Amino acid sequence: MRKYVRQAKIAELIQANVITTQQQLMNLLAEEEIFVSQVTLSRDLQEMAVEKVRDVHGQMFYSLPVRTETEQQDQQVMKQLFQVSCEQVLVLDKLVCIRLLKAAAPILKLYFKQLKLKGVAAIMTDTDEIWLLCFSKQDSEKVGRFLQAVLHESTSY
């Protein structure tokens, strides 16, 4: 099963049920004939930024992050800024070097932090470059492909 399909089902279950444990969520997924390990489920919850919050009685349950319309618009603006200011993406062993127009890097560092790219150990910037230090060469190649895909998405202004 594809990760995005599984994560969509997880989001659907969290919205429709009060889920207090990962085991409870795993059981609900199994009822849908989606079988995952606890490690995979933990990773999915982390990638989805699922949080445990308290209800009025103090009981903890899983909740999807709430993104306001303004946050979504800000994310889109940052993506567009990346698309128009990026001059080059280079993958060099465990490093992804992003060359940008002058002064764009400090602003776009926040965008890259918010993306929470899997496999990225550190983000460093200069005025016109961002360097993403990855855990492995495979991670840097995946990140490079992802960034190329973002650059080639159509944008509407």
* pLDDT in the model for residue 153: 80
Q: Which domain-ending residue is among 63, 95, 112?
A: 63
Q: Which domain-ending residue is among 63, 95, 111?
A: 63
Q: How many domains does the chain contain in total?
A: 2
Are 145 and 99 members of one domain? yes
Task: Give domain status of residue 145, yes or no.
Answer: yes
The DSSP H or E segment spanning 130 is: strand 129-134
* pLDDT in the model for residue 103: 85
Q: Which domain-ending residue is among 63, 82, 111?
A: 63
* pLDDT in the model for residue 13: 94
Are 103 and 141 members of one domain? yes
Structure tokens at 53: 């919050």
Q: Are 94 and 133 in contact (CB under 8 A)?
A: yes
Task: Give domain status of residue 100, yes or no.
Answer: yes
Are 75 and 144 members of one domain? yes
* pLDDT in the model for residue 157: 41
* pLDDT in the model for residue 70: 67
* pLDDT in the model for residue 55: 80
Helix (H, G, I), strand (E, B) or coil at 99: strand
* pLDDT digits (tens), the chain, 157 positions: 788 889 989 999 999 999 999 999 999 999 999 999 999 999 999 988 899 988 888 889 999 887 666 666 777 888 888 999 999 999 999 999 999 998 888 888 888 888 888 899 999 999 899 999 999 999 999 999 999 998 988 654 4
The residue segments making up the domain with residue 26 are: 3-63
**Taking Cα atoms as reference points, which of 92, 74, 103 lies closest to residue 131?**
92
Are 18 and 58 members of one domain? yes
* pLDDT in the model for residue 50: 92
Other beta carbons within 10 Å of 10:
24
